[in-house]
């Protein structure tokens, strides 16, 4: 009887230890890491969108039937970095639209947080600078999180492959926001040039330099 009692006590102790060390599946760090992943990576398919342009029309990537890809740039009115890049964005569109890679600019900022980025201000800025590309407003701020944009400007070069828009480059336009004369690395341009030639993009990801996207707290 005494031996039986000892065996039972050992069994109960082992059972308690097992329940104490069992993993808590509700706090699985691997699961949390997966759910925390945001935005596209190079090679992902970018879903289409339907956003209002400065001319009042709704614009989607699917509207550009003859396009081979896109230079999607999240940008805005007020940011000093975005302003520095405006002429270069216009030049990208001028150079590559006819080759099948038009610029699609999207303003991701909440105008209540940054009034300079309101819709009417977008219209005025585009007219002032002579934008040759769509300048879309991300109403409800639903599109920039899908892409994973964090700055203005933030570039995503896409290529059409079997009816899908595949991400080929993510990051900065080039390596010198302040002075275009001092640029030595043309990241977005090099990516598009490689795609046009049917080559692999060598530099597929860089760090976007700019202002943080303005979101209501």
Statement: residue 16 has pLDDT above 60: no
Per-residue pLDDT at 10 exceeds 60: no
Predicted confidence (pLDDT) at residue 6 exceeds the cutoff of 60: no
CA angle at 90 for the pair 86 and 93, rounded to the nearest 5° = 140
pLDDT over 70 percentage in the chain: 83
List the one residue out of 39, 73, 67 whose CA is nearest residue 161.
Answer: 67
Band of residue 18 on the pLDDT scale cut at 50, 70, 90: very low
User: For 188-199, b where at least 16 C-beta lie within 10 A, e where not — what string?
Assistant: bbbbbbbbeeee
- Nearest Cα to Cα of residue 89 among 201, 210, 214, 174: 174
What mean pLDDT do residues 61-81 have? 98
SS3 assignment for the chain? CHHHHHHHHHHHHHHHHHHHHCCCHHHCHHHHHHHHCCCCCCCCECCCCCEEECCCCEECHHHCCCCCEEEEEECCCCCHHHHHHHHHHHHHHHHHCCCCCCEEEEECCCCCCCHHHCHHHHHHHHHHHCCCCCEEECCCCCHHHHHCCCEECEEEEEEEECCEEEEEEEECCCCCCCCHHHCCCCHHHHHHHHHHHCCCCCCCECCCCCEECCCCC
CB 157 within 8 A of CB 186: no
Angle at 88 between CA 182 and CA 82, to 5 degrees: 95
- 151 forms beta bridges with 212
| Tokens (6 digits) for 122 | 């977008």
| CA angle centred on 40, ends 39 and 44, rounded to 5° | 150
What pLDDT, on a 0 to 100 scale, did the predictor assign at position 38?
A: 82
Comparing 140 with 11, the larger pLDDT belongs to 140
């Amino acid at each position: 009887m005494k031996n039986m009692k000892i065996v039972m006590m050992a069994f109960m102790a082992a059972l308690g230890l097992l329940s104490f060390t069992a993993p808590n599946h509700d706090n699985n760090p691997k699961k949390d890491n997966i759910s925390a992943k945001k935005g596209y990576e190079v090679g992902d398919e970018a879903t289409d969108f339907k956003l209002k342009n400065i001319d009042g029309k709704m614009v989607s990537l699917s509207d550009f039937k003859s396009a081979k890809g896109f230079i999607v740039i999240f940008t805005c009115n007020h940011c000093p970095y975005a302003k520095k890049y405006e002429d270069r964005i216009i030049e990208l569109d001028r150079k590559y639209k006819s080759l099948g890679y038009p610029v699609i600019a999207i303003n991701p900022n909440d105008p209540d947080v940054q009034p300079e980025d309101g819709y009417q201000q977008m219209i005025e800025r585009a007219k002032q600078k002579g934008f040759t590309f769509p300048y879309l407003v991300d109403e409800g701020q639903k599109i920039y999180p899908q892409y994973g944009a964090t700055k203005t400007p933030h570039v995503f070069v896409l290529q059409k492959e079997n009816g899908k828009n595949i991400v080929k480059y993510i990051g900065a336009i080039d390596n010198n926001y302040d002075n275009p004369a001092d640029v030595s690395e043309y990241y977005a341009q090099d990516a598009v040039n490689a795609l046009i030639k049917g080559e692999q993009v060598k530099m597929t990801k860089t760090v976007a330099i700019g202002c943080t996207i303005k979101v209501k707290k």
